A and B are shown apart, each in its own frame.
Chain A
Amino acid sequence: MNLESEKMTNAVRFMFVDDDEISIMALQRGVKQLEISNTVQLAMNGVEAIAILNEAMLSYGSLPPYVVVLDLNMPKMGGLEFLEKIRNNENFKNLLVFVLTTSDAPCDIASAYGYKVAGYIVKDDSRNSYKETIAMIKAYSELVVLPS
């Protein structure tokens, strides 16, 4: 169990932060189609995402490795606000974040990279965009050594 939990702790967790149900569904379909076994956690907005992160902190004493896929336009707390919060938080400042949003506004792109996001992906109309994104993130997380 200990070993199991150790393994669980070290495995990369995915967190999708998006208020759009369809987007979440699309991501989950992608996860399913690509047969990803990693833990996937879902948040409808920035507030829920921070709550999940805090909960993980409490459970494991320190933050386990996370890859966050973040939408920008959300109620309660938007993506940019969420980024501002975590970058100013000592525990979460190194969190790896991909932005996946419909907005291609240059100001959004510039702001997001200002918060040191790992990548900015615009949701486009091609059918496989979500699947490709998930595949890219999976490959990324398997290849890249994440901060722990």
Chain B
Amino acid sequence: MANSLKFNNDNSVVSRLRLTLGFIVLMLFASYLVGGYLLNDLKNSQQHAIENSVPALYQAHDFESELVAISELTSMLRGVSNVSAAISLRVKLLAHKNHLRDLIDASIIKSGADGLQDSVRSLESSSRRVVSSKLNMIWLDDSMRAKLVRLTEIREEFDGWLEPLLQLDEAPVASTLEAGVINLAAADFRTRGLQGQSSGRNQLLEISHSLSTLIEMIDTLATSRFVNNQKKTILSIKSQLTDIDQVLANVADLDTRRALAKMIVELRALTIGDKGIIESIVQYGEKNTQFRQNRRVLLDQISETSNKIDGIVFNTEQEVKSNTNKFNNTLSRIVLILGVFGLGVFGIIVLVKVNVVERQINSRMRRLTSAVADIAGGEHERKVDVSGGDEIGAMAGALEIFKENAKELQRSNTELEQFAYAASHDLKSPLRAIESLARWTLEDSGDELPSDAKDNLEKLLVRAHRLSQLQSDLLEYSKVGKPDESIEEVDFDRMVEDLAGILDPDQHFSIHVARAPIGVSTQIVPLRQILLNLITNAMKHHDLEFGTIEITADLVGDRLRISIEDDGPGIAIEYQERVFGLFEKLESNDKVEGSGLGLSMVKKMIERSNGSIAVVSDPSKHRGAKFIFDWPITESHLMSEKIAVGF
């Protein structure tokens, strides 16, 4: 038997559940691990975007705006004509270049950054060259202007020299120095010079004329800032100056001649000297060309750099795009993995639910529970159709044992009852024999017997009768609980009246019903037996000649609460427990006849119907004892009537 109760621990439902739960935990852990790894990936790619791509785009944008600024400044440079504006532009350019350089140095852009740095470096030198060539141009321009001013001054000085001389000769002519007039006058002067009269004046006019022509020419050149043929121009100017020198040589006045000659020398230096206007014009042209070239180079470099930056932007955008793709891929992978894990866990739970909880536990528990209920209800032939090496199987095994025990107990109880019945029954005839024989002896030859013998025989008869009473009580007791389905409507008044007629024919007692419900059905035979025993008990133990016994019945739920109260001596509290015991008697047989079975039988009958009995008595305070018990009813017309009225 004990072996069948053992079960394999590895096989138990609990360990199986534990295993599955462990597996679920493991799955969750794994999903956390994988999910965490992927989320980290996700975070990294997002961080990369935040730390690299987005700043790179911002920086690229900054580069672009710097380049645009530089380009704009370079354009502005072309229109600048004075030094201070140029220098301020240079300062601005320098600032932008520095900013650009700083940006490049601090740049986080790696791909193509080397090329960018080179570009920026060459861009810097180009811009420097552009600015310096522009400055050179401005300087040249300035010096040219100064020289032109000087030229004009010389002209005025020259005129200052000439004026008084010309006034000496012919004032009206000298007052107008209009070109056309001068030309006419010069022609006239030459003719007149040839004529030999007033030759000094003519010469002076000629010089003035040549000078005007020369200065005009140079002025024109300077304004256009262009010299077509440098050598030829220089030669032409030189010859003109030589011509003026020749004419000057003819000037009579020594002071004038010297002063004029000095002016001519200065004029020569001013025009065709190393730093003369012509040279300046030429240099200006060269510088201008240089400036243009440098500017073009610079603009080219700017656009080249801009292209590079565009490239970088494109790359960055590509990177962002690829990061976004990666992000999306990782995200969908996470979703997939979590979905797969979730499905897995769900599947396991469903599997556990179906396999372990439903099949292994629930259905078997249900079967086991119904078997337990049935066996508890007395179905001892009920088969326990649950098996297995786990706890439930073990419980089923234990239940089988309980069932066998219960069966055994019921069998032995039945046997005991049968024994009690048989024993008490079989006592009947020998007892009667003893009684009969003693009586017959007394009847037949009582007069012949010595008085002692007759006395003994009479005592024997009394004892035999007592034994006979005990035997019949025992028989009744052993019959309690034997099926008796006689269910009838109980009429308490009539039942008690009948019992009183049987038990108290001499009417020493007032036996009556105080109150009782009507229309209640129950097993009437045992109830009658209980009342009979209790009334008998009350009468038997009463110490006075006349007494009262009152019966009360109330309907409490689906049970009757019945009490039987007497006005006898009562039962001391210390004996109240004992009165229901088998063969218990509080008085000796000689005083009160009884087998000591009456109350035991009452108790047995009441407990058979799941009821209880109690005694209420306290002789120290007042007389009387009250037995209260409850009794099941099978039907109540009162209740059904009430329900019928209710509907």
Say yes or no: B428 contacts A22, CB within 8 Å.
Answer: no
B29 at the interface (CB under 8 A from A): no
Q: Look across to chain A and name the residue whose beta carbon is closest to the beta carbon of B430.
A: A22
Query: Which one, B425, B436, B439, B440, contacts A102 given CB within 8 A?
Result: B425
Say yes or no: B439 contacts A127, CB within 8 Å.
Answer: yes
CA distance A102 to B432 in the complex (A): 11
Say yes or no: B468 contacts A25, CB within 8 Å.
Answer: no
Q: How far is the CB of B443 from chain A (nearest CB, A)?
A: 9
Contacts of A20 in B (CB 8 A): 429, 433
Binding site secondary structure of chain A: helix
Contacts of B472 in A (CB 8 A): 125
A53 at the interface (CB under 8 A from B): no
Q: How far is the CB of B112 from chain A (nearest CB, A)?
A: 118
A29 at the interface (CB under 8 A from B): yes
Q: Mark A1-33, 1 if CB is under 8 A from B, else 0.
A: 000000000000000000011110110010000
In chain A, residues 88-134, which have Cβ atoms closer than 8 Å to a Cβ of chain B? 102, 123, 125, 127
Known: A125-B468, A125-B472. A29 touches B440 (CB 8 A): yes
Say yes or no: B468 contacts A102, CB within 8 Å.
Answer: no
Known: A29-B440, A127-B439. A22 touches B433 (CB 8 A): yes
Q: Look across to chain B and name the residue whose beta carbon is closest to the beta carbon of A103.
A: B425
Interface residues on A, range: 10 to 19
Q: Look across to chain B and name the residue whose beta carbon is closest to the beta carbon of A23.
A: B429
CA distance A21 to B440 in the complex (A): 14
B437 at the interface (CB under 8 A from A): yes
Contacts of B432 in A (CB 8 A): 22, 123, 125
Known: A102-B425, A102-B429. A22 touches B468 (CB 8 A): no
Q: Look across to chain B and name the residue whose beta carbon is closest to the beta carbon of A102.
A: B428
Q: How far is the CB of A28 from chain B (nearest CB, A)?
A: 11
Contacts of A21 in B (CB 8 A): 433
Number of interface residues of B (CB under 8 A): 11
Q: Look across to chain B and name the residue whose beta carbon is closest to the beta carbon of A33.
A: B443
CA distance A109 to B279 in the complex (A): 169
Q: How far is the CB of A129 from chain B (nearest CB, A)?
A: 10
Known: A125-B468, A125-B472. A22 touches B436 (CB 8 A): yes
Which of B428, B436, B468 has its CB near the most chain A CB atoms (within 10 A)?
A: B436
CA distance A23 to B437 in the complex (A): 11
Contacts of A123 in B (CB 8 A): 432
CA distance A127 to B432 in the complex (A): 9
Contacts of A22 in B (CB 8 A): 429, 432-433, 436-437
CA distance A23 to B433 in the complex (A): 8
CA distance A131 to B428 in the complex (A): 19
Q: Mark A23-54, 1 if CB is under 8 A from B, else 0.
A: 10110010000000000000000000000000
CA distance A1 to B251 in the complex (A): 241
Say yes or no: A26 contacts B436, CB within 8 Å.
Answer: yes
In chain B, residues 440-454, which have Cβ atoms closer than 8 Å to a Cβ of chain A? 440
Q: How far is the CB of A33 from chain B (nearest CB, A)?
A: 10
Q: How far is the CB of B481 from chain A (nearest CB, A)?
A: 17
CA distance A123 to B468 in the complex (A): 13
Contacts of A25 in B (CB 8 A): 436, 440
Q: Look across to chain B and name the residue whose beta carbon is closest to the beta carbon of A130.
A: B436
CA distance A21 to B437 in the complex (A): 11
Q: How far is the CB of B473 from chain A (nearest CB, A)?
A: 12
CA distance A125 to B471 in the complex (A): 11
Contacts of A26 in B (CB 8 A): 436
CA distance A110 to B548 in the complex (A): 43
Q: Look across to chain A and name the residue whose beta carbon is closest to the beta carbon of B443.
A: A29
Q: How far is the CB of B441 from chain A (nearest CB, A)?
A: 12
In chain B, residues 166-208, which have Cβ atoms closer than 8 Å to a Cβ of chain A? none
Contacts of B440 in A (CB 8 A): 25, 29
Contacts of B436 in A (CB 8 A): 22, 25-26
CA distance A28 to B543 in the complex (A): 44
Q: How far is the CB of B457 from chain A (nearest CB, A)?
A: 15
CA distance A127 to B442 in the complex (A): 14
Q: How far is the CB of B615 from chain A (nearest CB, A)?
A: 31
CA distance A53 to B436 in the complex (A): 30
Q: Look across to chain B and name the residue whose beta carbon is closest to the beta carbon of A129.
A: B432
CA distance A21 to B436 in the complex (A): 11
Closest 4 CB pairs of A and B: A22-B433, A22-B436, A125-B468, A102-B428
Could you name 21 residue pairs across A and B whose Cβ atoms are closer than 8 Å?
Answer: A20-B429, A20-B433, A21-B433, A22-B429, A22-B432, A22-B433, A22-B436, A22-B437, A23-B429, A25-B436, A25-B440, A26-B436, A29-B440, A102-B425, A102-B428, A102-B429, A123-B432, A125-B432, A125-B468, A125-B472, A127-B439
Q: Which residues of A contact B (CB under 8 A)?
A: 20-23, 25-26, 29, 102, 123, 125, 127
Q: Which residues of B contact A (CB under 8 A)?
A: 425, 428-429, 432-433, 436-437, 439-440, 468, 472
| New contact pairs (16) apart from A25-B440, A29-B440, CB-CB < 8 Å | A20-B429, A20-B433, A21-B433, A22-B429, A22-B433, A22-B437, A23-B429, A25-B436, A26-B436, A102-B425, A102-B428, A102-B429, A125-B432, A125-B468, A125-B472, A127-B439
